[in-house]
Amino acid sequence: MLSFLPPFILGPFTFLVFCLNTLFWGTLLYFLIPAKILVPVPIWRRGCTRLMTRIAEAWTSANNLGLKATQPTRWEVEGAEGLLRDSSYLVSCNHQTWVDIPVLQMVFNRRIPFPKFFLKRELAWVPILGGAWWALDFPFMRRYSKEYLEKHPEKRGTDLEITRKACEKFEGSPATILNFLEGTRFTKDKHDSQESPYRHLLRPKAGGMAFVLEVMGGKIRSLLDVTVVYPGKPPKFWDLFSGRIRRVVVRVRELSIPEEFLRGGSYLEDPAVRERFQAWVRQIWSEKDALIDRIQSAAKVANPQE
> How far is the C-alpha of 132 from the C-alpha of 192, rounded, in Å?
37
The percentage of residues in the chain with a pLDDT greater than 90, rounded to a whole number, is 60
Q: Report pLDDT for 170.
A: 76
Q: Report pLDDT for 233.
A: 87
> How far is the C-alpha of 298 from the C-alpha of 38, rounded, in Å?
56
How do residues 114-123 score in pLDDT, each as one tens digit?
Answer: 998 877 777 7
Give the strand order in the sheet containing 89-93: 74-78, 247-256, 222-229, 89-93, 176-179, 115-117
How do residues 132-162 score in pLDDT, each as one tens digit?
Answer: 888 888 877 766 666 766 776 766 666 667 6
| pLDDT category of residue 276 using cuts at 50, 70 and 90 | very high
What is the SS3 assignment for 40? Answer: coil
The percentage of residues in the chain with a pLDDT greater than 70, rounded to a whole number, is 91
Q: Report pLDDT for 211.
A: 81
CA-based angle 86:248:107, to the nearest 5?
A: 10
Where are the chain's structural domains? 1-72, 73-113+173-302
Mean pLDDT of 119-130: 80
One-letter identity of residue 95: H
Mean pLDDT of 181-208: 94
Range from 20-29, 37-46, 147-156 carrying the lowest mean pLDDT: 147-156
> How far is the C-alpha of 77 from the C-alpha of 226, rounded, in Å?
10
Is the predicted pLDDT of residue 264 greater than 60, yes or no? no
Is the predicted pLDDT of residue 79 greater than 70, yes or no? yes
| pLDDT category of residue 189 using cuts at 50, 70 and 90 | very high
Q: Report pLDDT for 169.
A: 74
> How far is the C-alpha of 148 from the C-alpha of 46, rounded, in Å?
37
CA distances from 62 to 82, 90, 102, 106, 276 (A): 23, 25, 12, 10, 42
Range from 46-50, 190-194, 251-255, 264-268 carrying the lowest mean pLDDT: 264-268
| pLDDT category of residue 301 using cuts at 50, 70 and 90 | low
0.75 exceeded by pTM: yes
- C-beta separation of 256 from 275 below 8 A: no
CA distances from 177 to 28, 63, 142, 163 (A): 24, 21, 18, 11
> How far is the C-alpha of 79 from the C-alpha of 75, rounded, in Å?
13
> How far is the C-alpha of 250 from the C-alpha of 243, rounded, in Å?
19
Q: Rounded to an integer, what is the distance from CA 287 to the centroid of its chain?
A: 20
How do residues 89-105 score in pLDDT, each as one tens digit?
Answer: 999 999 999 999 999 99
Q: Report pLDDT for 148.
A: 65
- C-beta separation of 277 from 267 below 8 A: yes
CA distances from 68 to 14, 28, 59, 142, 246 (A): 11, 24, 14, 36, 12
Is the predicted pLDDT of residue 113 greater than 90, yes or no? yes
Which is more confidently placed, 131 or 28? Answer: 28
> How far is the C-alpha of 17 from the C-alpha of 13, rounded, in Å?
6
How do residues 280-297 score in pLDDT, each as one tens digit?
Answer: 999 999 999 999 999 999
Q: Report pLDDT for 94.
A: 97
- 189 bridge partner residues: none
Q: Report pLDDT for 173.
A: 83
What is the SS3 assignment for 226? Answer: strand
Q: Treating both helix axes as pointing N-terminal to C-terminal, what angle do 206-216 and 158-168 enclose, rounded to 10 degrees? A: 40
What is the chain's mean pLDDT, rounded?
A: 88
